[in-house]
Chain A
Amino acid sequence: MIKNYFKIACRNLVKNKGYSVINIGGLAVGMAVAMLIGLWVYDELTFDTYHKNYDRIAQVMQHANFNGKTETQVANPALMGPELRNKYGSDFKYVVQSSWTGSHLLSIGDKHITKVGNFFEPDAPDMLTLKMLKGTRAGLKDPYSIMLSASAAESIFGKEDPINKTIKFDRSFDVKVTGVYEDLPDNTSFRELKIMMPWELWLIQNPWAKQMREPWGSNFSQTFVQIADNAAMQKVSARIKNAKLNNVSKEEAKYQWAVFLQPMRKWNLYNEFKNGVNTGGNIQYVWLFGIIGVFVLLLACINFMNLATARSEKRAREVGIRKAIGSLRWQLIKQFFAESYLVVLLAFVFSLIIVVMLLPLFNEIAGKKIGVPWANPLFWFFNLLFILITGLLSGSYPALYLSSFQPLEVLKGTYRVGKFASVPRKILVVTQFTVSVMLIIGTIIVYQQIQHAKNRPIGYTRNGLINLGMEPEIREHYETIRNELKNSGAIEEMAASNSPLTQVWNTNGGFEWEGKDPGMAVDFPNNTVSYEFGKTVNWKIKEGRDFSRDFATDSVAFIINESAADFLGFKDPVGKVLKWNGQPFTIIGIVNDIMQESPFYPIRPTVYHTSGYDNMYNLILKLNSQQNAKQSLSRIEQVWKKYTPNVPFDYKFVDEEFGSKFRAEERIGKLSSYFAILAIFISCLGLFGMASFVAEQRTKEIGIRKVLGASVVNLWRLLSTEFVVLVILSSIIAAPIAYYYLNSWLINYDYRIKISWQVFALAAVAALAITLITVSFQAIRAAIANPVRSLRTE
């Protein structure tokens, strides 16, 4: 019997080719979208699960009160690790002090390669359960050792065995390779780490860290822990709350440091904090895209149902005959389900093909490296579930509806689809377009928000600026190099600075001024810059003057930004004194806010001062705008190689670095726009099918009207009005829902657009236009047909 059902289903598919294409195609696209999103959600939810002790690993973080607001940070003093180990040892299995993630130069003979990595305390490989390909997890015990990922080992040593080979590290230390580990997969927080070095080596490389006056007052490293097997995350987190506060000076205590553990489980999905509360993060996108996936699939299922019932008059006769020759209702239900499952199965096969083809593109947009997990039983289990549910969803309505026809009415030909038979169908179309319109609105708003932030004044000129790391040789010959480059015409100006233009590397407390609330602890970004910084980046002096070599006193002067001027509360700040660690600095100028951090948040009160080059780690070069950039760059490289022949010439355009600040939002914008297009595509497929059936159903009516003198325009209006009304209704329903969700999304951003009504109007007009184009094709075709032919079909 099943065989019989499928045979009929196949013939029906072949016979109604257009209908089948719309049905299978629409469903396949819907399923592909749902599958891609499913893979993405799975990837997000299994983030970091590569590490076996995933549930017990945590990062030590701190809440603190800066400038009167509670902020949350991952930075810790280097003493945090030892403190936890010594005083709370029984709570932890491993405590690992770590550096920031950075690039390091590895040299073997003439070969120089830059690799990204961290300095870790020796327990890190055990904590992260690294899969060792060579050597053991004990590879970080000796200070002069290094562990390489498999890819790093191959790029450095090729096929050779790297174990016990010596590498020159950052041009200053000889380190021995003690282990090779499998590269961490892309969905782990430590995916970037291609090399790991001992924390001891970092301390040797950075001797100042051990010579600090107040080692608890400076946060320049990270701390990771794995709690003891019998310990509970929450309890340990509460217990270590004062681990820092107990050790700091009275002045430092004003920050109200509160230490806590952020479990690895939450690193990726719950990465945002507001006022000391873990408010969420990427999890909102998991929900958002999850819901979109379900919706897009639902749209495709709705199409199936709609088209099936729209064809019901055609199928009605068959149902009647079958019932008259002895079919029971449940047998018909089975038959229709067999048809829907056949379509779903075919669509599934196509959707797999689509997924395989689109995955590279999807990965690029989503910034992921997801593969289809062919060998994962869970994948197939979900697919099976997915097919079952989709088949049930899309087949239920036609199966139950079509099988309910009374044979006699149908066979006598008196059967007409009732007045209200089209109501569920209309509801389904409205649902589809509500979702589509919402996605259109969402896409527009996300783009507006990105554009809004991109157009935000940045306080400097990005054009032609490049950023380079400052090597010791460059620092030594700074003035010579500057003159040489300027004279060669490659650059207009060159400056050094502590932080690159697109980041803040250093913040400081210890500022005092007249009228400050004595209980408040402040923390300002503090950028050490060379005299020509302002001229190079073209900042705008609002009041006062720029740094100048002509004033010897400029070594104890600050230029502050507007936000700082507001925060300090001076009426006329220029000439006022700002004390830093007791030493008086004069404010000589105010500059427009320079956006170094997120374009979506307020710019922090920032101070700039100038001193020797020791605290400057970045060079900013303004390329000569009169000269070809390529030429200038090669000229700069030549000079560079003269002083640092063993360091790769690794420059970054400030423009590009700035652009990367929008990557997350752009990703969301792009994804949502693609989903919107797909949702609209699927809805239109359905609409197209529906319109063609309506036109077919009304062929006779159209013929009669035409004979009576109706024009093509009359008929077009007759056939299109219904759909236009439905789409307008959808827009009205979509607007408040979209408003609600987008508003709650925008609240995440301090610097945000206001949602304007025009967006809703635009989305509605777009949906209408698309509808009209889709429907008109069928309407006009029906309207221009020869009435004699359509009337003869009776």
Chain B
Amino acid sequence: MLELKGIYKWVNTGNNRIFLLKDVDLSVKPGEFISIMGPSGSGKSTLLNVIGMLDTFDQGEYNFLHESVHQLKVKQRSALYKQYIGFVFQAYHLIDELTVYENIETPLIYQNIKTSERKALVADVLDRFQIVGKKDLFPTQLSGGQQQLVGIARALIAKPKLLLADEPTGNLNSKQGEEIMSLFRELNREGMTIIQVTHSEKNAAYGSRIINLLDGMVAQ
């Protein structure tokens, strides 16, 4: 599905070069559920963002579904991730001004999908996540767990091939966390490829493979 080869990312401060990612190799097959772990500052989120094409890297190759991401222009890259990648954030990042329904609908709008089709798709997802009753509420009217549920629904609405989650349970209590994680497991079983960043061993255990990062390097 995707392959990283010798990825480096650095920032220069004065004469020093600080490496955020150092010679990272990673290959992900379709249907995997990978957990990236590591202490604070080890580069977990940076790696996830590089994979999600939200961030760039300075050296190395990145192939995503037979496209060479490192050779793509910004526009092509955003077209690519728009189509294949869904994001889930620790802080949910729902748009406060939009209702649950509209938040979920927004990615479809950006993909120029027709209204009738949008309605059907959103209705499906609402139904599946059992939040039909909440569709007209605004994010601030929901609990954290519910907000994250909406966040996941929004990430999945455009039927991505890859779901990226940056500490999806970080802001939730343990019960809510468990619910989210079991949802992830269920999605994975249905064939969704998932990469999550997490601090918690317990959450990592939901995945099929664990990658440990330390100072920007994959620990063997």
Render A407-425 as a binary contact track against B, CB cut-off 8 A, 1 for contact. Answer: 1100110000000000000
- Choose the segment among B8-16, B17-25, B93-101, B141-149 that binds chain A (4+ C-beta atoms closer than 8 Å): B93-101
Instruction: Give, as a whole number of angstroms, the nearest-CB distance from B97 to chain A.
Output: 5
Instruction: Give, as a whole number of angstroms, the nearest-CB distance from A326 to chain B.
Output: 4
Across-interface contacts of A263 in B (CB, < 8 A): none
- Distance A529 CA – B45 CA, assembled complex (angstroms): 101
Q: Tell whether, in the assembled complex, residue B106 and residue A325 are in contact, meaning their CB atoms are under 8 Å apart.
A: yes
Q: Tell whether, in the assembled complex, residue A320 and residue B93 are in contact, meaning their CB atoms are under 8 Å apart.
A: yes
Across-interface contacts of A12 in B (CB, < 8 A): 97
- Distance A322 CA – B110 CA, assembled complex (angstroms): 9
Instruction: Give, as a whole number of angstroms, the nearest-CB distance from B67 to chain A.
Output: 17
- Distance A15 CA – B158 CA, assembled complex (angstroms): 29
Most buried by B among A1, A8, A325: A325
- Distance A11 CA – B107 CA, assembled complex (angstroms): 19
Contact of B97 among A15, A324, A407 (CB under 8 A): A15
Q: Tell whether, in the assembled complex, residue B110 and residue A8 are in contact, meaning their CB atoms are under 8 Å apart.
A: no
Contact of A407 among B54, B75, B94, B111 (CB under 8 A): B54
Across-interface contacts of A327 in B (CB, < 8 A): 106, 110
Q: Tell whether, in the assembled complex, residue A326 and residue B54 are in contact, meaning their CB atoms are under 8 Å apart.
A: no
Q: Quick check: is B62 within 8 A (CB to CB) of the other chain?
A: no
Q: Tell whether, in the assembled complex, residue A411 and residue B89 are in contact, meaning their CB atoms are under 8 Å apart.
A: yes
Q: Tell whether, in the assembled complex, residue A317 and residue B93 are in contact, meaning their CB atoms are under 8 Å apart.
A: yes
Identify which of residues 61-85 in chain B touch chain A, using a CB-to-CB cut-off of 8 Å: 75, 78, 81-82
Q: Tell whether, in the assembled complex, residue B78 and residue A328 are in contact, meaning their CB atoms are under 8 Å apart.
A: yes
- Distance A325 CA – B84 CA, assembled complex (angstroms): 11
Q: Tell whether, in the assembled complex, residue B107 and residue A408 are in contact, meaning their CB atoms are under 8 Å apart.
A: no
Identify which of residues 297-333 in chain A touch chain B, using a CB-to-CB cut-off of 8 Å: 317-318, 320-322, 324-328, 331
Render B142-169 as a binary contact track against A, CB cut-off 8 A, 1 for contact. Answer: 0000000000001100100000000000
Across-interface contacts of B55 in A (CB, < 8 A): 408
- Distance A318 CA – B107 CA, assembled complex (angstroms): 13
Q: Tell whether, in the assembled complex, residue A324 and residue B110 are in contact, meaning their CB atoms are under 8 Å apart.
A: no
- Distance A321 CA – B55 CA, assembled complex (angstroms): 14
Across-interface contacts of A86 in B (CB, < 8 A): none
Given contacts A322-B106, A324-B87, A326-B107, contact A408 B93 (CB under 8 A): no
Q: Quick check: is B3 within 8 A (CB to CB) of the other chain?
A: no
Across-interface contacts of B87 in A (CB, < 8 A): 324-325
Closest to B83 in A: A326
Q: Tell whether, in the assembled complex, residue B89 and residue A325 are in contact, meaning their CB atoms are under 8 Å apart.
A: no
Q: Quick check: is B49 within 8 A (CB to CB) of the other chain?
A: yes
Q: Quick check: is A4 within 8 A (CB to CB) of the other chain?
A: yes
- Distance A8 CA – B105 CA, assembled complex (angstroms): 13
Given contacts A317-B93, A318-B97, A320-B93, contact A325 B54 (CB under 8 A): no
Q: Quick check: is B109 within 8 A (CB to CB) of the other chain?
A: yes
Render A389-417 as a binary contact track against B, CB cut-off 8 A, 1 for contact. Answer: 00000000000000000011001100000
Across-interface contacts of B81 in A (CB, < 8 A): 326
Q: Tell whether, in the assembled complex, residue A408 and residue B54 are in contact, meaning their CB atoms are under 8 Å apart.
A: yes
Q: Tell whether, in the assembled complex, residue A325 and residue B110 are in contact, meaning their CB atoms are under 8 Å apart.
A: yes
Across-interface contacts of A317 in B (CB, < 8 A): 93
- Distance A317 CA – B95 CA, assembled complex (angstroms): 8
Closest to B154 in A: A325
- Distance A527 CA – B91 CA, assembled complex (angstroms): 92
Q: Tell whether, in the assembled complex, residue A4 and residue B109 are in contact, meaning their CB atoms are under 8 Å apart.
A: yes
- Distance A318 CA – B92 CA, assembled complex (angstroms): 12
Q: Tell whether, in the assembled complex, residue B97 and residue A11 are in contact, meaning their CB atoms are under 8 Å apart.
A: yes
Across-interface contacts of A321 in B (CB, < 8 A): 93-95
Q: Quick check: is B178 within 8 A (CB to CB) of the other chain?
A: no
Most buried by A among B97, B106, B154: B97
Instruction: Give, as a whole number of angstroms, the nearest-CB distance from B89 to chain A.
Output: 7
Identify which of residues 179-205 in chain B touch chain A, using a CB-to-CB cut-off of 8 Å: none
Q: Tell whether, in the assembled complex, residue A411 and residue B93 are in contact, meaning their CB atoms are under 8 Å apart.
A: yes
Closest to A12 in B: B97
- Distance A318 CA – B139 CA, assembled complex (angstroms): 13
Across-interface contacts of A318 in B (CB, < 8 A): 95-97
Given contacts A1-B109, A4-B102, A331-B110, contact A324 B54 (CB under 8 A): yes
Across-interface contacts of A407 in B (CB, < 8 A): 54
Closest to B81 in A: A326
Instruction: Give, as a whole number of angstroms, the nearest-CB distance from A313 to chain B.
Output: 14
Across-interface contacts of A331 in B (CB, < 8 A): 110
Instruction: Give, as a whole number of angstroms, the nearest-CB distance from A769 to chain B.
Output: 38
Instruction: Give, as a whole number of angstroms, the nearest-CB distance from B124 to chain A.
Output: 18
Instruction: Give, as a whole number of angstroms, the nearest-CB distance from B64 to chain A.
Output: 16
- Distance A322 CA – B75 CA, assembled complex (angstroms): 15
Q: Tell whether, in the assembled complex, residue A8 and residue B109 are in contact, meaning their CB atoms are under 8 Å apart.
A: no
- Distance A784 CA – B93 CA, assembled complex (angstroms): 32
Instruction: Give, as a whole number of angstroms, the nearest-CB distance from B8 to chain A.
Output: 18
- Distance A750 CA – B78 CA, assembled complex (angstroms): 70
Most buried by B among A4, A326, A328, A408: A326
Q: Tell whether, in the assembled complex, residue B93 and residue A326 are in contact, meaning their CB atoms are under 8 Å apart.
A: no
Across-interface contacts of A15 in B (CB, < 8 A): 97
Q: Tell whether, in the assembled complex, residue A408 and residue B49 are in contact, meaning their CB atoms are under 8 Å apart.
A: yes
The contact sample of 24 A-B pairs, CB cut-off 8 A, is: A1-B109, A4-B109, A7-B102, A8-B97, A8-B98, A11-B97, A15-B97, A318-B97, A320-B93, A321-B94, A322-B110, A324-B54, A325-B87, A325-B107, A325-B110, A325-B154, A326-B78, A326-B82, A326-B110, A326-B111, A327-B110, A328-B75, A408-B55, A411-B89
Given contacts A318-B97, A327-B110, 18 further A-B contacts (CB under 8 A): A4-B102, A8-B97, A8-B98, A11-B98, A318-B95, A320-B93, A322-B95, A322-B106, A322-B110, A324-B93, A325-B155, A326-B107, A327-B106, A328-B75, A331-B110, A407-B54, A408-B54, A411-B91
Closest 3 CB pairs of A and B: A326-B82, A326-B110, A321-B93
> Which B residues are within 8 Å of any A CB, using their own CB?
45, 49, 54-55, 75, 78, 81-82, 87, 89, 91, 93-98, 102, 106-107, 109-112, 154-155, 158
